[in-house]
Each structure stands twice: as C-alpha cells, then as structure tokens.
Amino acid sequence: MAKIEEHQGDRPYCKSCGYSLIGLTESSKCPECGQPIVDVLVRESFLGRQGFRYESDARLAGLPLVSIASGPRGSERRGKAVGIIAIGDMPRGVIAIGGYPFGVLSIGGVARGVVALGGVSLGIVGIGGVGIGVAAIGGLAVGLWAFGGMGIAFIDGVAGMLMKV
C-alpha cells in the first residue's frame, strides 16, 4: 500500500530528547532532559500549514515511481520530493514538476534539467519566459541557439531581436 504521511497536528515537543510537552504548565525546563523550554520547544508545523507527503510502493532503481511533497512538514520549509516522477515544492526526479524542479524533464517556476520548461528555465534545452541553454526558447533566450523575443545566440538563431556574441 502506498505511504501517505498523516499530519500529527500542532503538538509541542522537546527537540533535544523528543519528550512531549503537551500539558506542561508551570515549568521552565523539559521534565525529561532538563533543557530550558525556550531553547528546545518545537512544533510539527504551524497551524493551517500542513504539508502533504505521498510515496508510491512501486519502485524503480530504488526510487519510488511517484513521490509528492508539498508544503512545510516538521523542520522542512518546502516539500522535497525525490522519485522517478517527483511533484512538489523542490522536486528531484527523472520527471520533476513543481516550484523549483530539477530533473531530466523539469516543469515549473525555476526549472533546471536536460529539458527545462518554466518561468526561468536552465537546461540543455531551456524553454520559458527566460530560457537559458544550448538551445533556448523564450521571451529572453540565451544560448548557442536562441529563439524568442530577445535572443542572445553564440550561433545564429531566430529572434525578434537577435544579438550575436
């Protein structure tokens, strides 16, 4: 069965020893390890900010076929999915889809990979608002071959405005 992590709520605990600090009322120290509460008090996440995690049971080369990590969870500020198909805030995979993806095929806001499609794309083939790569396509395209509104090419390209370096 696929693994989906359940959110544990907003339960406080001691980051030093892991002791649950629920119900602690009049102590300035952790009852288990004696560390000052102000130094060790942590919570799983902020209220209303519950990250989502999913990982398929199917695996290929040791990686899950599908991995999804969205939103903050525990000490993570962003979801970091790793898998053949990775989806989330900062995914890494053969196919990566999300905010800051990295993979063979990357699709997202700031995409990096062999073929990158996004607002800002950096790859062998970069396609997006700003495309940077060996072959670049975009509003601003920079590469050996550049095609777009403004292309900066090291080899002749086609652009609305072509600049040859």
Count Cβ atoms below 10 Å from residue 140 Cβ, excluding itself.
18
Predicted confidence at residue 100, as pLDDT, reads: 95
pLDDT band, very low/low/confident/very high, at 25 (cuts 50, 70, 90):
low
Residue 153's pLDDT band (cuts 50, 70, 90): confident
Could you give the C-alpha distances from 142 to 64, 66, 115, in angstroms and in order? 35, 33, 15
Q: Which of 32, 82, 77 is nearest to 56 (CA)?
A: 82
Q: What are 31-83's pLDDT values in tens digits? A: 888 888 777 776 655 544 567 889 999 999 999 999 999 887 766 778 899 99
Buried b (16+ CB within 10 A) or exposed e, 73-105: beeeebbbbbbbbbbbbbbbbbbbbbbbbbbeb
Mean pLDDT (whole number) for 5-24: 68
Which of 3-7, 89-93, 110-114 is predicted with the least confidence, judged by mean pLDDT? 3-7
Percent of the chain with pLDDT over 90: 48
